[in-house]
Amino acid sequence: MKRMCTGLMLAGTLLATGTAAADDLLQWQNNSLTYLWGKSFTINPQIQQTVTFEHADAWKYGDNFFFLDRIFYNGKADGNLGPNTYYGEFTPRLSAGKIFDRKFEFGPIKDVLLAMTYEYGEGDTNSYLFGPGFDLAIPGFDYFQLNFYQRHTDSNRPGSNIWQITPVWSYTIPVGSSNVLIDGYMDWVVDNDKNSHGTYHANLHFNPQIKYDLGKAMHWGEKHLYVGIEYDYWKDKYGVEDTSSFKTNQDTASLLVKYHF
């Protein structure tokens, strides 16, 4: 659920920077590296540096997104994870429109998909998510996706059989000789889950990036090099309820440099 990146990035602006395969099995792909530096994080050490690799593609029957974070705690050790850790997600989606070669469009919906996500990292973090996904046509947006997941864990920890709603978006604003790109996602876990091993509390993670296309401004190439910030608001982070004695609500921002290739 914790993505230190831009979200799925599966349509719109990335088409210009992706590559197409001759046989159309792979329609386009895009890769990127991001560096983030921020402070005022909760639960984990307050100051964090993150290096993220992301891959997005569209293929004959759907689309895929993958990211891997390497997180450094600025020389301090997390009580459970040590001085650094990793976290990643793999999100494949199967498109009804592509599989059946017909349009599944009604109202703002332009495609219906089966959405899946595998979350993994250090410790007991593995989760499996699946449910319906929708690509929406919303005026002004480069793309807008809305995925509904049921969450499952592979252990006895709480957090299974509960629902999560995940919108993902991208919006471009022309500014002078370049553009500002606002993209990101929100994970909203709407249920609580409690068992003998503890309680997983409903939580909301809002994680947009606001980025200036520096490469375009400097005539180095459009949609390759971005600078900006990533805002991170997480209510009841990791499903741990915020209390007066243990603060888990996170409200912070990180400086960002991102390169697409």
CATH assignment at residue 201: 2.40.230.20
> What amino acid occupies position 3?
R
Query: Residue 33: what are its φ and ψ, rounded to 5°?
Result: -125, 135
Domains held by the chain: number: 1
- Give the integer Cα–Cα distance in Å for 98 and 25: 11
Are the C-beta atoms of 156 and 197 separated by less than 8 Å? yes
State what percent of residues in the chain have pLDDT above 90: 83
On whether residue 5 sits in a domain, the answer given is no
pLDDT score, position 196: 78
- Give the integer Cα–Cα distance in Å for 209 and 193: 30
On whether residue 225 sits in a domain, the answer given is yes
pLDDT score, position 13: 40
pLDDT score, position 44: 95
On whether residue 2 sits in a domain, the answer given is no
In a 13 Å sphere around the CA of 35, the CA atoms on its Cβ side amount to: 4
Show the domain range for 119: 12-260
On whether residue 82 sits in a domain, the answer given is yes
List the chain pLDDT tens, one digit each, 261 residues: 444 334 444 344 444 444 444 458 999 999 999 999 999 999 999 999 999 999 999 999 999 999 999 999 998 889 888 999 999 999 999 999 999 999 999 999 999 999 999 999 998 899 999 999 999 999 999 999 999 999 999 888 899 999 999 999 999 999 999 999 999 999 999 999 998 788 999 999 999 999 999 999 999 999 999 999 999 999 999 999 999 999 999 999 999 999 999
- Give the integer Cα–Cα distance in Å for 22 and 154: 39
pLDDT score, position 1: 46
- Give the integer Cα–Cα distance in Å for 153 and 214: 41
pTM over 0.85: yes
Which tokens in the block code for residue 125? 């973090």
Which tokens in the block code for residue 165? 């709603």
Query: Residue 4: what are its φ and ψ, rounded to 5°?
Result: -95, 60
Are the C-beta atoms of 150 and 165 separated by less than 8 Å? no
On whether residue 48 sits in a domain, the answer given is yes
On whether residue 6 sits in a domain, the answer given is no
On whether residue 80 sits in a domain, the answer given is yes
pLDDT score, position 49: 98
**Which of 205, 216, 196, 213 minimizes the C-alpha distance to 240?**
205
On whether residue 7 sits in a domain, the answer given is no
pLDDT score, position 23: 55
